[in-house]
Amino acid sequence: AQRVTQPEKLLSVFKGAPVELKCNYSYSGSPELFWYVQYSRQRLQLLLRHISRESIKGFTADLNKGETSFHLKKPFAQEEDSAMYYCALYNFNKFYFGSGTKLNVKP
Amino acid sequence: SQTIHQWPATLVQPVGSPLSLECTVEGTSNPNLYWYRQAAGRGLQLLFYSVGIGQISSEVPQNLSASRPQDRQFILSSKKLLLSDSGFYLCAWSVPTPGFYEQYFGPGTRLTVT
């Protein structure tokens, strides 16, 4: 069965420090994976999708099929990155979300 | 451009009362539509999804039901609310285009059952 796990509920870092938000998944095929972000008082929105291999707001995420991971990384965190982050997997019309990680970037 | 609306934004209802939450999408045709419940620390729980008018798939047995009377309208209902139905409900849409499966979310409805 499909499952997405985000082991950290809260991650606190100082401004300028590197950030890595962990995401592991279980899926038998080739996954379609996404990171979503929810800033305070804003809608949940797409941050990036693995298939695009893009960098958005300095964030990148690499799919590691061997480790079944899709960790989100940023080399230098900014205060405006503070938000709730969700990892998600798509399979045949359905999306499976992790429980989310709250990122707190301290000044 | 596409937009998604949900109403009401907040709702306080007594136990045993009925519920109707509405979601509409503009600017796209034949979208997939979704209802989620978002709980703190537990992420998004998929409740229902629909790939077309009148086509509803239920993911979690519960006190709720969904309907899609029109292409871009998705309704979440209950005949009798329970305390456990309290939560934040999100509607979302997507167009299943290969390589672009992402979802777009509405602003949500905060439901409090008293």
Residue numbers in B near A9 (CB within 8 A):
41
Q: At A6, is the secondary structure helix, strand, or coil?
A: coil
Residue numbers in B near A93 (CB within 8 A):
32, 49, 51, 57, 96
Q: Is B96 on the interface with A (CB under 8 A)?
A: yes
Q: Is the pLDDT of residue A43 over 70?
A: yes
Q: What number is the average pLDDT over the span A54-67?
A: 89
The string of pLDDT tens digits covering residues A5-27 is 999 999 999 999 999 999 999 98
* Cβ within 8 Å of residue A55, ≥6 positions away: A48
Q: Is the pLDDT of residue A53 over 80?
A: no
Which pLDDT score, from 0 to 100, does residue B100 have?
Answer: 72
Mean pLDDT in consecutive groups of 10 residues from the start of chain B, 114 residues = 90 96 93 90 88 91 90 96 93 83 90 95
Q: Is the pLDDT of residue A92 over 90?
A: no
CA distance A32 to chain B (A): 8
What is the DSSP code (8-state) at residue B54? T
Judge whether B2 and B27 are in contact, CB under 8 Å.
yes
Beta-carbon separation of B43 and A46 below 8 A: no
Beta-carbon separation of A46 and B106 below 8 A: no
CA A105 distance to own-chain centroid: 16
Placement of tokens 């006190």 in the chain: B63
Judge whether A95 and A88 are in contact, CB under 8 Å.
yes
SS3 content of chain B, % helix, strand, coil (to 5): 5, 60, 40
The string of pLDDT tens digits covering residues B18-51 is 999 999 999 888 999 999 998 776 788 999 999 9
Judge whether A18 and A74 are in contact, CB under 8 Å.
yes
Q: What number is the average pLDDT over the span A56-65?
A: 90
Residue of A nearest to B52 (CA): A93
| B42, B49, B107 member nearest A94 (Cβ) | B49
Which pLDDT score, from 0 to 100, does residue B61 have?
Answer: 66
Task: Taking the CA atoms of A48, A67, A10 and A74 in sequence, report the sign of the dihedral they define.
Answer: negative
Which H helix or E strand runs over B69?
Answer: strand B65-70
Q: Is A70 on the interface with B (CB under 8 A)?
A: no
Placement of tokens 């499976």 in the chain: A96
State the virtual CA torsion across B46, B77, B30, B2 in degrees, nearest 10.
-80
* Cβ within 8 Å of residue A56, ≥6 positions away: A47, A48
Residue of A80, A87, A76, A90 lying closest to A37 (CA atoms): A87
Q: Is A31 on the interface with B (CB under 8 A)?
A: no
Q: What number is the average pLDDT over the span A81-104?
A: 93
Q: What number is the average pLDDT over the span A20-42?
A: 91
Residue of B28, B92, B62, B2 lying closest to A34 (CA atoms): B92
Q: What number is the average pLDDT over the span A88-107?
A: 93
Beta-carbon separation of A95 and B103 below 8 A: yes
Which pLDDT score, from 0 to 100, does residue A26 have?
Answer: 92
